[in-house]
Amino acid sequence: MKERNISDPATAEGCSATAREVRSDWTREEILDLFALPLNDLLHRAHEIHRHHFDPNEVQLSTLLNIKSGGCPEDCKYCSQSSHYDAGVKATKLMSRQAVRAAARKAKAAGATRFCMGAAWRDLKDRDLPAVTAIIGEVKALGLETCMTLGMLTADQAERLERAGLDYYNHNIDTSEEFYKEIITTRTYQDRLDTLRTVREAGLKVCSGGIVGMGESREDRAGMLQTLATLAPHPESVPINMLVPMAGTPLGETAPLEPLEMVRTIAVARILMPWAYVRLSAGRKALSDEAQALCFYAGANSIFYGERLLTTGNPEEAEDRALLAKLGLRAEPPKPC
């Protein structure tokens, strides 16, 4: 990743006007105008910005591990881990630190530099904090970047995670404020934003994005990106998931989104948040190599790497290595500690 210095002449003048400034005042109309550009114009603009802020031929490999599966009291309509639906996912206890360490070692040996751990919780309970912080210590000790997603946090919990060595906290806003109520009723959009503020104030890096293809409109996709791009500072990491329709959930029969709309969403995310890692997240099994190549051109520079996401599949590691080789892309090297 290049230096974040907009007063550096190489940064300020060596690129087009579109790449010069980082803004947190994007309007819905401006964002919709970006979505509506001819695809070539949108891709050109996004790629120019991408190339200016990152090495365009490097992709960050993040491996995901479900450290506590199923039985979640929330009613997120897309999620196989909600106890409101029967998607056949068994509720498990939190994994042991030894088991997590073994999975993280395997991910590192396969080439991942970032390790993301998810728990199907509404919120973190203080009684689980010692086990969670011990897990962070294990993964950090392997020299991997750490990310966790554990639901809502209190300020004290966020600070304790930060002190334990957590780098990123993932907490997705999922969609626009307007559409959110159609998808989740057990918590509000504001609850999500409050946790994101708590995470930021604790000094953790913010990972926040959402899902496309849940039946939302383009206006909702623009609204989701507007919420993220008007956070100041922007999230350092923005996962864009394409809905994986999970049988047994209310969205289990949802028709797939047109892949080029995913490409457009990534391109707009890249233009709005030039310094963020934009992750081409869930749903890659449903995307052709060509669609994924367009996502990388549009500014995606991170993927989930490893044959499982949380409860569903992801391309096999060998398949992804072959895709990267075919496109002449390299895995991002580990960052110095």
Q: Which of residues 152-171 bind ligand SAM (CB under 6 A)?
A: 171
Q: Which does 243 bind (CB under 5 to 8 A by kind): ligand SF4, ligand SAM, ligand DTB, none?
A: ligand SAM
Which H, E and C letters describe 150-211, residue by residue? CCECCHHHHHHHHHCCCCEEECCCECCHHHHHHHCCCCCHHHHHHHHHHHHHCCCEEECCEE
3-state SS class at 124 = coil
- Per CB under 6 A, the list member of 70, 209, 274, 315 interacting with ligand DTB is 209
Smallest gap from Cβ 263 to ligand SAM, in A, equals 17
Q: Which of residues 170-199 bind ligand DTB (CB under 6 A)?
A: 170, 172
Q: Which of 89, 97, 98, 146 is nearest to 120 (CA)?
A: 89
The binding site for ligand SF4 (CB under 6 A) comprises 72, 74, 76, 79, 81-82, 120, 122, 151
Which of 45, 101, 147, 270 is flagged as catalytic?
147
Residue 221 near ligand SAM by CB under 6 A = no
Smallest gap from Cβ 94 to ligand SF4, in A, equals 14
* Alpha helical stretches, state H, the chain: 9-12, 28-35, 39-53, 97-109, 129-141, 155-163, 177-183, 189-201, 218-229, 259-272, 289-298, 317-327
Active site annotation includes 337: no
Peptide bond into 233 cis (omega under 30): yes
The C-alpha atoms of residue 240 and residue 31 are separated, in whole angstroms, by 16
Evaluate whether 237 touches 207 at the Cβ level (below 8 Å). yes
Interface stretch with ligand SAM, choices 32-40, 138-146, 197-205, 241-249 (CB under 6 A): 241-249
Which of 45, 200, 279, 284 is flagged as catalytic?
279
Count of residues of this chain found to bind ligand DTB when the rule CB under 6 A is applied: 17
The C-alpha atoms of residue 28 and residue 32 are separated, in whole angstroms, by 6
Q: Which does 82 bind (CB under 5 to 8 A by kind): ligand DTB, ligand SF4, ligand SAM, none?
A: ligand SF4
Smallest gap from Cβ 12 to ligand SAM, in A, equals 35
Q: How many CB atoms lie within 10 A of CB 200?
A: 18
Residue 118 near ligand SAM by CB under 6 A = yes
Binding-site ranges for ligand DTB (CB under 6 A) = 64, 80, 116, 118, 149, 170, 172, 209, 239, 241, 244, 281-282, 309-312
Q: Mind telling me the catalytic residues?
A: 72, 76, 79, 116, 147, 207, 279
